[in-house]
Structure 1
């Protein structure tokens, strides 16, 4: 048992996502986050299943080597000696009392939740909890056996029995509700600030000013920030970002000018953007058609409650605007959920295409064949792509479908990450003693404005006092 507090870095050092960090003090191990990196060993085709799949993640260094973080049956036969050899480390700290923090519900931050051991405490914001329950109900992800503890924005809790280690959750601005960073007061009194994923061009940019102010007031000494957009082509020319509020405006412009069918592809977990699109669809006099999985995600998230949507007109208009279309490729949803939306048939949509917008996730592309070939084919259809999968404007499969049917493509993306200059500004305003850029392919490109930077390596454990002395 280590009486000096320390921090271990397991993932996220030179990847987009997959941040896995463990703060440790005596018996307490505080894990944040618990996702899989983009471009790692696993993807939508190469995947495993809980609970035993935790072994595959453990043996490929895809998850923190904490034996009690996962179900005992998954860890059977695995030894510390094996893990030390895999990680090439003489020591891999273990903690009897593990607690997990999930910043938000994107797979690169929470994909390992279904593998966590039963009753392990899992902290996340209330809005993130609503999105997670909705994602599980929609069939996108499996549930967790851990014990989720939803927290209010700015709620402070003690993580250890002595009350020395304290966590204050702070909601930030990202492209999914409830995304939160924190200030962690360590046992030695050091304050660690964690931004989680964040941006400046969203509808809640003021939250980042609040985060900065709180970090300054608390005297944050160690700052951990994401650096997704640190790239050679963004270093000397700050990219211009479309405002979040502009995305639905551009979508409505397309609807009003289109004489035929309009397809929509946005991430359902961006619940606030879905609300914007519901309103825009209503204002344009159309109906929004969803598959069952997408409709369940929206319904469950808003039923449980998204604080940022309190009083939003989309909550009351949804039943009027949304119709559910049974489709072959829809995910298996929670059968206990009864949706309040009317169903619609394919023939109804194709009989009057100008009346509808079809929410068409990437996995639903085959439905386009029927929607385009049946009914009136005299008018061009339009496809609005705004940060839905695939997360690129250049996906070859998507464009082959669009070309096949002569569908006009509109790309109105605005991502969830800060520009490099904004990261530098945040760091300069907080003035920590050391800053750690993670969640980046190019972390060494970070301009910290003369504040010492620390670049951890995989599996490295650093005592907090030594981290503060880093120059």
Structure 2
């Protein structure tokens, strides 16, 4: 085959980290980069840069793929290929002239580079994923993008240069999460995106497997978030997604005190469940302004919530608490007229049994006022259901709860498959080669006899050589 139609895979990020997957598939001068997020690395809540103007720092710390045509030239300034070759220790970095991007879903580690992309860069994204992105921009969590967002639907096939991309929705804890199969001139490459089997739409993975079996996959790229030594021999037991909101309701029924709920607001389907369970428990759900804007802006546009009773119930169940002036938490970037009745701290504490407080991590300090005012006869309960911080051992959060005698309930379920389920998916698809990533421990992967490979950062392969290399393990 001529070089014009030679298929290549280049691996940059997410190879030994959870998140920050950066891969470029190219064929001649045409290519697509997936995903466009960042893993946790050199920045945290105290050491940080803006998500748009910080692209130079992201590139120089290998938190963004060194594909220069992705980014807004105004943000790059004088940063060029010479500096990036030095940072990556490579004599050559793969570049293409006809470039597209792809975002599988709206979690930070898959979409955080969107504000830094160059104007008019074509970026493919599921309709529901884009609705969530627009909502987090309105809520003030991220800047908007200048890229040309190309909306896709489940099952859609896009012809793109010498290859076609077949988009397939899977199940994760965020709306619109989408994997794909790339149909190249000679090879088929499948990417699962993030996925799980314990969600409400686990059947989508069966369809993904069936499509891969039908077309025949040469290379399967799958996430492996939960591959750890403690899950190697025993499959973990997962709480079902539909059970999370049920446990929130149980907490509301078991105390006359306040119930705090911490859910990642981008999991809009779970928020819809929470609204309904709050109504069933006879309480109202107090939201800060940013969270209320995110819910309002996303819920009305999401296909997956079309006709959901929470759309109407939310107008009566949600109460709006103005963000305190002392808070450094997110504030809406868009002036949205919200249909929710306002409420004050004094009104909440005057009748604690009537309210559940959606308490995002940056507003944890509200606990001090909410717990010291009003009746303290009944203990409050804090339900932590996959909201930030993403751990049950956060020292700061636990210190606040212990200080005021608030009961802590960890009610996580997460969005990732058990290692044994990844093995089952791999053996069912039976690709020529599997590449596990999005994992701290990819080498623990049991591929069920399918050949596997662990790319090094910056490695580039001709797909024909990668598939034909019998030295892979």
TM-score normalised by length of structure 1 = 0.97
**C-alpha contact (below 8 Å) 2:51/2:142 kept by paired residues:** no
Residue 322 of structure 2 is aligned with which of 316, 323, 326? 326
Where does residue 216 of structure 1 map in the other structure?
Answer: 213
Deviation at 1:303, TM superposition (A): 1.7
**Which residue does 1:151 correspond to in 2?**
152
Question: In the TM superposition, what is the alpha-carbon distance from 1:101 to its structure 2 partner?
Answer: 0.3
- Out of 287, 309, 318, the residue aligned to residue 313 of structure 1 is 309
| Root mean square deviation of aligned Cα | 1.3
CA contact (8 A) 2:18 2:439 kept: yes
Q: Partner of 2:304: helix, strand, or coil?
A: helix
- How far has the Cα of 1:78 moved from its partner? 2.7
Q: Which residue of 2 aligns with 1:27?
A: 29
More deviation, 333-342/385-394: 333-342
Corresponding residue for residue 113 of structure 1:
114
SS class of match (1:349): helix
Cα displacement string for residues 114-147 of structure 1 (whole angstroms, at most 9, x for unaligned residues): 1101111111101101111111111111111111
SS of the residue 1:100 aligns to: strand
TM superposition shift of 1:57: 1.4
Give the equivalent residue in structure 2 for 1:414. 413
Residue-pair matches, total: 465
* 1:296 matched residue in structure 2: 293
Taking the aligned partners of 1:406 and 1:143, their CA distance within structure 2 comes to 41
Q: Report how far residue 76 of structure 1 moved.
A: 3.1
User: Which stretch of the first structure deviates more once superposed, 313-322 or 57-66?
Assistant: 57-66
Cα distance change, pair 52–287 in 1 and its aligned pair in 2 (3 A): closer
The aligned residue for residue 266 of structure 2 is 269
Q: For residues 453 and 300 of structure 2, what CA distance do their matches in structure 1 show?
A: 43
After TM superposition, give the deviation of residue 50 of structure 1 in Å.
5.2
SS of residue paired to 1:184: strand
Match of 2:247 among 236, 245, 250: 250
Give the structure 2 partner of residue 183 of structure 1. Answer: 181
Aligned residue number for residue 362 of structure 2: 363
> In 1, distance between residues paired with 2:36 and 2:117?
10
Distance 2:53 2:363 in 1: 30
3-state SS in 2 of match to 1:447: coil
**Mapped partners of 1:317, 1:440: distance in 2:** 39
SS at match of 2:100: strand
**Structure 1 residue 318: Cα displacement:** 0.6
Per the alignment, in what secondary structure is the counterpart of residue 469 of structure 2? coil
Q: Which residue pairs with 2:61 in the alignment?
A: 60
> Does the C-alpha gap of structure 1 residues 311 and 239 become closer, same or farther in structure 2, counting only changes over 3 Å?
same
Q: CA deviation at 1:248?
A: 1.1
Which structure 1 segments of 5+ residues have no match?
Answer: none
Q: Deviations over 1:72-103 (max 9, x none)?
A: 12333233232222211121011122111000
CA contact (8 A) 1:173 1:207 kept: yes
What is the distance in 2 between the residues matched to 1:50 and 1:260?
39
Distance in 2, matches of 1:260 and 1:21, equals: 49
Q: Does the 8 Å contact 1:138/1:293 carry over to 2?
A: yes
CA distance in 2 between partners of 1:44 and 1:157 (Å)? 39
- Cα distance change on mapping 1:132 and 1:335 into 2, 3 Å: closer
Using the alignment, how far apart are the partners of 1:248 and 1:8 within structure 2?
A: 41
- Aligned positions of 1:314-463 closer than 5 A: 314-328=310-324, 329=327, 330-463=329-462
Q: Does the residue aligned with 1:143 lie in a helix, a strand or coil?
A: coil
CA pair 51-371 structure 1, distance change in 2 beyond 3 A: closer
**1:459, distance to aligned residue in structure 2 (A):** 0.3
Aligned 8 A contact 1:230 1:445 in 2: yes
Contact 2:25–2:31 (CA<8 Å) still a contact in 1? yes
> After the TM superposition, which residues 160-239 of structure 1 pair with which residues of structure 2 at under 5 Å, given as runs?
160=161, 164-186=162-184, 188-239=185-236
Counterpart secondary structure, 2:300: helix
Structure 1: distance between partners of 2:408 and 2:271: 19
Stretch deviating more after TM superposition (195-204 or 340-349): 340-349
Contact 2:9 2:25 in 1 (8 A): yes
1:400-445 deviations in Å (ceiling 9; x for gaps): 1011111111111101100000000000000000000000111011
- Please list every run of 5 or more consecutive structure 2 residues that lacks an aligned counterpart in the other structure: none
1:283 and 2:280 equivalent? Answer: yes
Q: Secondary structure at the match of 1:247?
A: helix
